[in-house]
Amino acid sequence: MIEAVALSRRYGGRLAVRALSFTVRPGEVVGLLGPNGAGKTTTLRMLAGVLRPTEGTARIAGQDILEDPLAAKRRLAFVPDEPRFFDYLTVQEHLRFVARVHGITDVRPHLERLVQHTTVGARLDAFPAELSRGMRQELALACALVHEPAALLLDEPLTGLDPIAIRRTKDVVRAAAARGTAILLSSHLLHLVAELCERIILLRRGVSVAQGTIADLARDRALEGRPLEELFVSLLADEAP
């Protein structure tokens, strides 16, 4: 379960996220949408405990990210939009390192899964600089799931991937949701969001302008059966200054 409770974040005089509240239940995949600068990445960073909220708080699997950050972080995984790796750790050493951070003693099943189901599995001894973007994304997801988190935060996980890598990533997300992981993902690829997510949260200038299932929101606007892109434009048009 991911809970945001009146989350706000201020950068100097600018309010990037304002009193944002929502819940992502176990096994649910929720899309965090909005134009550039809407506050999606700031929201994900606050939920991941990277950024401290100016006001409000968040709970990951019931653990408050401000009161007990380590307990909350043990239950979550965060994959940023462009995962960066340690220059001098190989693929398998990254997996071993993340496993050790989370106290996982037996990393072999994860390595076997990586070898069997991913292209990066064939390059266990390669350094990150030698990997393609798709392979880096596969590695980041494998590292994120090594401790079977209760909450998974994905920032633009599908951008820049080829169709095969997109298919694999979608499968990984669906499999994690099927295991009961609460997943919050941000993306500009609306057709993929429509495929993966049951609900969406639409942000504009740090404020939530719409929350709900895609079907409900579309019905409210008489846009049933239309692409998510039309719903997105319609919802933002209402809020335009």
Partner 1 sequence: MTSALAYLARRSAVNASRVLLRRMREPRYFVTGAAGLAWLAFLGRAGVPRAQAADAEGALPAAALGVLVFVTWGWLFGSGARALTFSPAEVTWLLPAPVPRPAVVNLKLLRVQALVLLNSVLWVLLLPSPDPGSMLRRMAGIWCLLSTLALHRIGAGLTRSRAAASRWLRLGGAVIAGVLVGLALLAASGMVTAPLHVAAWLESPTLRMLLTPFAVPVRPAIAITGPGWWSEMLAALLVLGLHVVWVHVAEHAHADASVMQSLAHLDGASGGTPAMLRRGTAPIVPLAATGPAAFAIIWKNSASVARRRGLLGAVLLWLVLCTAVEMLVRFDRSAAGYVGAFAATWVGFVLCTGPQFIRNDLRNDLPHLAALRALPMHGRTLMAAELASSALTLTTLAAALTVVAWLGLRESADVPAWFRTGHALLGALLALPGFSLIVMLVQNAGAVLFPDWTAMTGRSGSAAALGTNLLGVLATLILGSLLLLPALVLLPELTDPSGRVMLGTGLMISTVAIVECWLAVGWLGGRLERLEITDGVVI
Interacting residues toward partner 1 by CB under 8 A: 11, 45, 48-52, 69-71, 73-74, 76-78, 80-90, 93-94, 96-98, 100-102, 127, 129-133, 140, 143
CB of 101 to partner 1, least distance (A): 5
- Least distance to partner 1, CB of residue 232, Å: 23
Q: Residue 81's CB: how many other CB atoms inside 10 A?
A: 15
| Distance in angstroms (rounded) separating the CA atoms of residues 241 and 234 | 14
* Shortest Cβ 130–partner 1 spacing (Å): 7
CB of 17 to partner 1, least distance (A): 14
Closer to partner 1 by CB, 25 or 100: give it: 100
Residue-wise DSSP of 145-190: TTT--SEEEEESTTTT--HHHHHHHHHHHHHHHHTT-EEEEE-S-H
Q: Bridge partners of 204?
A: 207
CB contact burial 25-53 (16+ within 10 A = b; e otherwise): eeebbbbbbbeeebbbbbbbbbbbbebeb
The nearer residue to partner 1, 68 or 229, going by C-beta atoms, is 68
Phi, psi of 213 (to 5 degrees): -75, 155
Task: Name which of 45 and 168 has its Cβ closer to partner 1.
Answer: 45
Rounded to a whole number of angstroms, the minimum distance from the CB of residue 51 to partner 1 is: 6
Q: Are the C-beta atoms of residues 78 and 145 closer than 8 Å to each other? A: no
Nearest-approach distance from CB 238 to partner 1, in angstroms: 29
CA distances (Å), 21 to each of 58, 141, 163, in order? Answer: 9, 26, 34
Cβ closest to partner 1, residue 101 vs residue 233:
101
Bridge partners of 169, per DSSP, are: none
16 or 231: CB nearest partner 1: 16
Q: Closer to partner 1 at the Cβ: 3 or 156?
A: 156
